[in-house]
Amino acid sequence: MTLSEAREAAQKGVAVVSAGVRYARIEFVGYKYTEDGREIPSVRLLDKSKHSITDASPHMCEVASDENT
């Protein structure tokens, strides 16, 4: 998904899948910055137990469907 699509998914609070793992929702959408100042799109994913987070590229994420459970 694009950063814009990730922002929309975060606002809706929908579950997402990244690298085959289902997450409860996207908690943060934005950019990380490298040492040389380059912007890297990033999302923060909240796991199903809501006790752990994972940072990922939005390009590696998709909105979860019933088949992704």
pLDDT in tens, 16-65: 999 999 999 999 999 999 999 999 999 999 999 989 999 999 999 999 99
Residue 56 to residue 19: CA distance in whole angstroms: 9
The mean per-residue pLDDT over the stretch 1-26 comes to: 97
Global pTM reads 0.87
- pLDDT at site 66: 73
What are the distances in angstroms from CA 66 to CA 22, 29, 32, 43?
A: 11, 24, 31, 22
**In this model, does residue 1 exceed pLDDT 80?**
yes
The strands making up 39-47's β-sheet, listed across from edge to edge, are: 53-56, 39-47, 21-33, 16-18, 61-63
Long-range contacts of range 31-34, CB-CB < 8 Å, 24 or more positions apart?
A: none
Tally of CB atoms within 10 A around 64: 18
